Amino acid sequence: MAKKKPVRRTKAAAGRKPAKAGSRKAGRAAKKVTTATASRLPVNAGPSLGRPKVTGEEDLDMLFKEDYHARQIFKFLRVGTVKDLEGYSAGEILRVLSRPIKETVERIRRLLAERNRCLAGDQGFALEHKEHAKDPLSGR
């Protein structure tokens, strides 16, 4: 009769036997690990900016004390804190700031057209404006 070799056991946590690859305990342990890591991470985790370095109540005039033009924009938008400013998108800020410029340029074009003058390449607008000004029922 052949002698059996003694079974060598590796140290397991707290004196427990190591789980065999096909056993139920091994499967359960593997599930716990995957569910534990899955519960820590949000499902749709995107890139994060990290922890904010200023509060939402930070005064914009103090934060941008060296940038005169930025402070002028904040006055025009009537915002005083970072949180107020975060309510605007970049496109919204550009639209709000450019509206008075567009309206002023339109007034310039109309006044020049009324005086038989026009900006460079704007003769078509001047002729069209004069035509509408002659017709009192054109909506003006």
95 pLDDT higher than 90: yes
Helix (H, G, I), strand (E, B) or coil at 106: helix
What's the whole-number mean pLDDT along residues 20-25? 60
**According to the model, what pLDDT value does residue 19 have?**
61
* Pairwise pLDDT comparison (107 vs 11), residue with the higher score: 107
Which residues have a Cβ under 8 Å from the Cβ of 83 and sit 6 or more positions away? 56, 57
Cβ-count burial of 69 within 10 angstroms (0-12 exposed, 13-18 middle, 19+ buried)?
Answer: exposed
In this prediction the pTM is 0.56
Instruction: Extract the runs of DSSP E, i.e. beta strands, from 41-91.
Output: none
140 pLDDT higher than 50: no
Distance, CA of 134 to CA of 130 (rounded, Å): 6
Q: Where are the domains of the chain?
A: 53-88, 101-140
pLDDT tens for 120-130 read 999 999 999 88
